[in-house]
Amino acid sequence: MEHIYKYIEEHATQQSEALNWVAKQTHIRTNHARMLSGAIQGELLRIIVQTSGAKRILELGTFTGYSAICLASALPADGHLDTLELNDELEDLILEGFERAGVSEKISLHIGDCKETLRRFRSETGLSEGSEADSDKMYDIVYMDANKREYCEYYDLVFDMVRPGGLILADNVLWDGKVCQDPLPQDKQTLGIARFNDMVSKDSRTESVIIPLRDGLNVIRKK
């Protein structure tokens, strides 16, 4: 498969200098460069935003900012991205990447625990269980790429923050193929992802498809 992805990458729109910089700094300054979205998935995210006409996006898991730049770069002038990251040691790298990409004004970076931040967002918009946010406060797209153990909880917290017809994009849902193994591995990450995929497939409020790109992207449309 590696040669296929190399071919696809060579024939996709090339990443910007700012994204090249983020990718290089991620390899130099972190031990988790494998977590980068990368050029192929980054371009897919950008095209999804552009073709959907999204104006408000929520990202769970900024890491070093690569996917945030891809998402924000496709937003219109009045669009905005809220991105959530736990690791405050990455903040300087993230913000410099945003500046280099020229998207700083379109992005708000929120450092802290993802679930706590989402609960704060819900409180600020007056959301209670089973209610929905005002239409002007709803998100058009939510991109989930944070703690795999907590995907089900993220889904419950963000669902009524997404407008009807909006998208929830969940990354890493194939988890190196572990979710397909029988017996299912019992580590918490695999179990979390497997529960999430099962939950989404049974949710009558949505329609969804898993795209086998890199580590799997679940594209979920809220009806």
**pLDDT of 94 higher than 90:** yes
* pLDDT tens-place string over residues 24-40: 999 999 998 888 888 99
- DSSP letter at 90? G
Cα angle vertex 75, ends 65, 144, to 5°? 45
Kindly indicate the confidence band of residue 132, based on its pLDDT and cuts at 50, 70 and 90: low
Tell me the average pLDDT of the chain.
94
Give the pTM. 0.94
> Residue 117: in which H helix or E strand, if any?
helix 114-124
* pLDDT tens-place string over residues 165-174: 999 999 999 9
* pLDDT tens-place string over residues 54-77: 999 999 999 999 999 999 999 999
**pLDDT of 128 higher than 70:** no
Mean pLDDT of 146-171: 97
Cα separation of 100 and 34, whole Å? 22
C-alpha atoms less than 13 angstroms from C-alpha of 72 in its C-beta half-sphere: 27
* pLDDT tens-place string over residues 95-106: 999 999 999 999
Q: In the prediction, which pLDDT does 9 show?
A: 87
Q: Are 40 and 8 in contact (CB under 8 A)?
A: yes
Cα separation of 174 and 196, whole Å? 11
* pLDDT tens-place string over residues 192-201: 999 999 999 9
Structural domain range at position 36: 2-222
**How many Cβ atoms from other residues are within 10 Å of residue 40's Cβ?**
17
Three-class DSSP category at 205:
coil
Supply the CATH number for residue 103's domain. Answer: 3.40.50.150
Count of structural domains within the chain: 1
